[in-house]
Amino acid sequence: MQVPFADLRQQYQAIKPEIDAAIAGVIAETAFVRGKYVNAFEADYARGYGVEHCVSCANGTDAIYIALKALGVGPGSEVITVANSWIATSEVITQAGAKPVFVDIEPDYYNIDAGKIEARVTARTKAIIPVHLFGQPADMTAIRDICTRRGLRLIEDCAQAHFSEYDFGAPKGGKRKVGTIGDIGTFSFYPGKNLGAYGDAGAIVTNDAALARSMRTFANHGSMSKHEHEIEGINSRLDGLQAAILSVKLRHIHDWTRRRQEAATIYDKLLAGLGGIVTPKIRPEGSHVFHLYVVRARDRDGLQKHLESRGIGTGVHYPKPLPFLKAYQYLGHKPEDFPVAYRYQREILSLPMFPEISREQVEYVVAEIRAFYGQT
């Protein structure tokens, strides 16, 4: 049996008529960049999130960059983010002219450890960017409190957490979708994400009209109307084909999320009690949309090789925490600055996870994990 890490072809086959019609429509109307399909997707996405504004852009990296610029982050500022993420989250802080400040992860949920944030706040700190990594929310009660108390802006990197929710409890605001908790929520629609385009795409959501306007302007060469440029901006546009594809796929996202959650439940059940493996824990306040199903494994590299030899695709997210990448050597960090992220980098393993994965495929993956540890 083959179990790929993800399977985008199967998903396309399942919705081929809808997708092909959407693509043909864009081409027939030559609505290639911005235009009616992009406006429609922005409206669909804003409605899906129950927010006032959705600003589309070229990718999820630009989304964070545009958010930082709109919040006035620039030279002399510091922005706090998490040690374990994809470099997109931190490189845009530098590109905005500010300094990235990293915080270790929580041992149970692999997100930014809110209890370690305040020690890194200085007079220059402008914003915090929690990442809802692997599909589950960060500790938003604590993070929101810190932002309020210290006067910091809050950008949520939701690239891996489409429609994930966090429950503040009734007196404190109840259930909220991630991306609508802070000032700005940013999304990637990279093909492999839970909601994926057929190329690069991204979006930003906010309820703040002034921020929305300034992000829309900045992403479009500093312009809100043709040949009028209020500022110098960048070229970060969503194209019509991606927008039309995303509008189709948006109709299926909740079904796909449910199927990811079902696959995760099967993994949980079959892996329970297996020595050598720690299965993912779900935060009591959060829902997990399982962009990735990440376990911690004894002899991770050995297990990964064994699974590969049995036709099972896996991944590591990420092999090196951001502060230990060559790009951040200049910050001079040591392993003891981020002990949890440092320890986990050799243990974490992402197992095959996609909505179409079958029960038989999950059973086969688990059987091969048991065989590796001699616990059949």
Ligand X SMILES: *Cc1c(COP(=O)(O)O)cnc(C)c1O
CB of 291 to ligand X, least distance (A): 8
CB of 186 to ligand X, least distance (A): 8
Nearer to ligand X, 86 or 324 (CB): 86
Q: Give the range of 40-48, 85-93, 331-339, 354-362 binding ligand X by CB under 6 A.
A: 85-93
In total, the chain counts a number of residues equal to: 376
Interface with ligand X, residue 59, by CB under 6 A:
yes
Span 131-150, contacts to ligand X by CB under 6 A: 131
Nearer to ligand X, 135 or 276 (CB): 135
Nearer to ligand X, 93 or 369 (CB): 93
Span 263-302, contacts to ligand X by CB under 6 A: none
Nearer to ligand X, 173 or 199 (CB): 199
Nearer to ligand X, 188 or 361 (CB): 188
Question: What's the alpha-carbon Rg for the chain, to the nearest Å?
Answer: 21
Q: How big is the site for ligand X, counted in residues (CB under 6 A)?
A: 15
CA–chain centroid gap for 79, Å, is: 18
Instruction: Decide if 58 contacts 237 (C-beta within 8 A).
Output: yes
Q: Which of 37, 49, 86, 102 binds ligand X (CB under 6 A)?
A: 86
Burial group, residue 24, by CB count within 10 angstroms (0-12, 13-18, 19+): exposed
Handedness of CA 158, 185, 43, 239 (dihedral sign): negative
Nearer to ligand X, 188 or 279 (CB): 188
Nearer to ligand X, 130 or 276 (CB): 130
Interface with ligand X, residue 85, by CB under 6 A:
yes
CB of 95 to ligand X, least distance (A): 13
Instruction: Decide if 242 contacts 221 (C-beta within 8 A).
Output: no
Instruction: Decide if 274 contacts 72 (C-beta within 8 A).
Output: no
Beta strand 78-82 with 99-103: parallel, antiparallel or unpaired? parallel
Interface with ligand X, residue 341, by CB under 6 A:
no
Span 149-188, contacts to ligand X by CB under 6 A: 157, 159-160, 188
Instruction: Decide if 46 contacts 205 (C-beta within 8 A).
Output: yes
Going residue by residue from 199 to 238, which x/- string records binding to ligand X, judged by CB under 6 A? -x-x------------------------------------
CB burial string 294-317: b at 16+ within 10 A, e below: bbbbeebeebbebbeebebbbbbb
Interface with ligand X, residue 242, by CB under 6 A:
no
The helix (run of H) or strand (run of E) holding residue 146 is helix 140-150
CB of 333 to ligand X, least distance (A): 20
Instruction: Decide if 162 contacts 249 (C-beta within 8 A).
Output: no
Interface with ligand X, residue 60, by CB under 6 A:
yes
Cα(99)–Cα(73) distance, integer angstroms: 10
Nearer to ligand X, 202 or 276 (CB): 202
Q: Within a 10 A sphere around the Cβ of 223, how many other Cβ atoms?
A: 16
The residue to which tokens 């993994």 are assigned: 267
Instruction: Decide if 277 contacts 369 (C-beta within 8 A).
Output: yes
Q: Which of 88, 98, 264, 357 binds ligand X (CB under 6 A)?
A: 88
Interface with ligand X, residue 322, by CB under 6 A:
no
Show the CA angle centred on residue 179, arms to residues 97 and 60, nearest 5°. 50
Nearer to ligand X, 179 or 202 (CB): 202
**Which residue of this chain has its Cβ atom nearest to ligand X in the complex?**
60
Q: Which of 84, 89, 279, 287 binds ligand X (CB under 6 A)?
A: 89
Binding residues for ligand X (CB under 6 A)? 59-61, 85-86, 88-89, 131, 157, 159-160, 188, 190, 200, 202
